[in-house]
A and B are shown apart, each in its own frame.
Chain A
Amino acid sequence: MAYLELQGLRRHFGPVVALDGIDVSLDTGEFLSLLGPSGCGKTTALRLVAGFDRPDAGSIVIDGKNVTRVSPNRRDMGMVFQAYSLFPNLTAEQNVEFGLRIRKNKRAVRRKRVAELLELVGLGHAGKRYPHQLSGGMQQRVALARALAIEPRVLLLDEPLSALDAKVRVQLREEIRRIQTQLGITTLYVTHDQEEALSISDHVAVMSSGRIEQLGTPSEMYGAPATPFVAEFIGTMNRLQAVVVDGASGEVQHGGTRLTVDAARGRMKGERVLVLVRPELLELEPSIDGDRGENTLTGDVITHTFLGSVTRLKILGRETEYIADVPTARVDSLPIGLAVNARVPAAGTRLLSLSEEPASDGSSADS
């Protein structure tokens, strides 16, 4: 039986449907990220779990007990907020101690726990400082320690890193994961940053318009998006509109190009589909005398974008633009203006029925 269950949660704000019936189950010690764009309902879901808001329908069950109508101060949820939420009148130590004082723990117990937690978040030296004397990253560490101090049943994190700079964000997210794993605490994490969600979660739920589009492991979400929205939201994807030509052999027609895609096997002839290809799966070769191999898209390199170990190339094809990632060391052999062939692998390609996708004029590369 799951430790935390959200069952059919619905929430409306006037005519706006913030949550349209979401179901989530978390086992003890599991780390689930709710990922989605602004307004998708992820923070609403978290606030319902925290008890700051009440659902119109559905229930929240923790360890077999329905807590839907329990007030937030009786739920034993530790929460880290997006905004800096430390009490400005208290030092870092006093902030961490706050929940323990509310629970009337003995002074010696409080002191020991506060020291342990400040050490755990790497701020053993900063306990006497007031919030305004701490950097943003330090404040969020103290907020994490404060949330953990009460030994919460579930740890809730509402975009806790969004106000921090990139370097601190990466550092702190790794620390959050380390501490969560070390303490084995069940965690619900809200973010709009796919990289953040994929890098630290056991499972990720991608949300859109108040619904969960797909829930799975980070690798499933990246490698096997179940809907066009997830494919678009997670990572960067070439989206090729095509029509199934031969379901037996897996042949599809994309503009003037025939492609063989394993995922198209068994599809009905004439079915409109969306072929999804990750940029790193496209194999680029210079086109010699207009010669093109099988399963290949053609076009001219129009831009280079340096991303570190790889460089992203934009290719203007006959039908649309494609993007491909190549090792940076190779990029000199693929200069801007060069005609290239981009081989689409038959095996690593996903296929979605286009009936799930709103009609559009052509294919595209989304990031």
Chain B
Amino acid sequence: MRRRWISPSAVVWLLVAAAFFLIPLIATLLFSLRKLETNKCCSGAAYSLIIHDHQFWTTIRLSFLLSLETIAISLLLFVPTVYWVHLKMPRLRPVLGFMALVPFVVPPIILVVGLLNLYRGSPSWFYAKPYGFLATAYVILAFPYMYFALDAGFRSIDVHTLTEASQSLGASWRTTLMRVILPNIRVAALGGSFLTLAIVMGEFTMASLSAFNTFPTYIQLVNETQPYEAAALSLLSFLIVWAAMLALLFVGRGRPRPAQMAATR
């Protein structure tokens, strides 16, 4: 059996890339491990303080639940919409694509001011609650990530044929969507979901301007007053995103994918 040869230049590039990503993380880790009293290594005091701060748990819980709510609303809204556009109104795809670019183009600070004005006067259970107003704003913010992920997923399968095959076998629209379409865009939906999770877990501008105390606003607060704890918090948020990506890899692994199927054609 031949050994696979890796060229020296590839090794150099790998090391450069690894250094680019790892050096800031290692520096942050070392910084977060400094003793509060002496400013020298090593102590877990910053982590201990964070973990014993009830604000940490309250804000991370809020941000996590907001992420789940945003993901749920986005999937409920966008999966049927993108499915229908691919199936019945493909001419609308460029329009949707353009709309999805708007949250990229309009800065969050302008978006949130506009939304605050738009929803002023709406019931307090919506306007004054993070699970109402903020979740709505996050759905808009996550729109491009969810839309482009789903669009790629739908483009990788033959939506028309799968739908018609399912219907010819007696399945209703709902059954077709749930049992045929969704399982085959699962990886795309998961991709969009985890991008949404990462965005919501790290979104500061909207939460701050609408005066909600979420995990990123908590990080900002800590950052202003407690530098070692802020570094510890940054690492923790990295870990959350990594865990999400690993979950995506784990869930999407080992199942037949449309791309694999297409390759056999």
Interface residues of A (CB under 8 A from B): 50-52, 71-79, 81, 83-89, 98-99, 102-103, 130-136, 143, 146-147, 150, 156, 163
Contacts and interface: CB of A to CB of B under 8 A. Distances in A.
Contact of B168 (A72, A88, A134, A163): A72
A132 B258 CA distance: 8
Given A84-B261, A85-B158, A87-B184, A102 B165 contact: no
Contact of A73 (B172, B179, B261): B172
B180 A79 contact: no
Contact of A132 (B165, B172, B180, B260): B260
Given A50-B164, A147-B168, A102 B175 contact: yes
Contacts of B171: 73, 98, 102
Given A85-B161, A102-B175, A79 B261 contact: no
Given A130-B256, A131-B256, A87 B170 contact: no
B257 interface: yes
User: Which residue of A74, A75, A81, A135 has the most chain B CB atoms within 10 A of its CB atom?
Assistant: A81
Interface string B156-169: 01100110111111
12 contacts: A50-B164, A73-B168, A76-B170, A77-B168, A83-B158, A85-B161, A87-B166, A87-B183, A88-B256, A88-B257, A88-B261, A98-B179
B167 A72 contact: yes
A132 B261 contact: yes
Contacts of A73: 167-172
Contact of A89 (B170, B255, B265): B255
A75 B186 CA distance: 30
A147 B179 CA distance: 17
Given A84-B261, A85-B158, A131-B261, A102 B183 contact: no
B264 interface: yes
B82 to A, nearest CB: 18
A141 to B, nearest CB: 15
Contact of B162 (A87, A102, A134): A87
Nearest to A163: B265
Contacts of B172: 73
B89 interface: no
A88 B184 contact: yes
Interface string B168-190: 11111001000110011010000
Contacts of B162: 85, 87
A73 B164 CA distance: 9
A79 B265 contact: no
Given A76-B170, A84-B265, 15 more contacts: A50-B164, A79-B165, A79-B168, A85-B158, A85-B162, A87-B166, A87-B184, A98-B179, A99-B170, A102-B169, A131-B261, A132-B257, A132-B260, A135-B264, A147-B169
A51 B170 CA distance: 12
Nearest to B169: A99
User: Which residue of B157, B172, B180, B256 has the most chain A CB atoms within 10 A of its CB atom?
Assistant: B256
A98 to B, nearest CB: 5
Contacts of A156: 168
Nearest to B172: A73
Contact of B170 (A83, A130, A131, A150): A150
A88 B170 contact: no
B264 A132 contact: yes
B76 interface: no
Contacts of B184: 87-89
B118 interface: no
B168 A103 contact: no
Contacts of A143: 165
A103 B170 contact: yes
A233 B57 CA distance: 76
A254 B92 CA distance: 59
Q: Which 7 A-B pairs have the closest CB atoms?
A: A99-B169, A89-B183, A132-B261, A85-B165, A79-B168, A130-B256, A102-B170
A3 B102 CA distance: 56
Contact of B164 (A52, A89, A133): A52
B263 interface: yes
Contact of B263 (A71, A76, A102, A132): A132
A132 B169 contact: no
User: Which residue of A81, A87, A103 has the most chain B CB atoms within 10 A of its CB atom?
Assistant: A87
Contacts of A134: 264
A88 B258 contact: yes
B40 to A, nearest CB: 55
Nearest to B262: A132
Contacts of A77: 168
B29 to A, nearest CB: 41
Contacts of A87: 162, 165-166, 180, 183-184
Contacts of B165: 79, 81, 85-87, 143, 146
Contacts of B183: 87, 89
Nearest to A52: B164
A79 B263 CA distance: 24
Contacts of A85: 158, 161-162, 164-165
User: Which residue of B158, B180, B258, B261 has the most chain A CB atoms within 10 A of its CB atom?
Assistant: B261
A133 B158 CA distance: 18
A135 B166 CA distance: 21
A60 to B, nearest CB: 15
Nearest to A139: B264
Interface string B121-159: 000000000000000000000000000000000000110
Contacts of A150: 169-170
Contacts of A146: 165, 169
B57 to A, nearest CB: 38
A351 B263 CA distance: 51
A73 B264 CA distance: 29
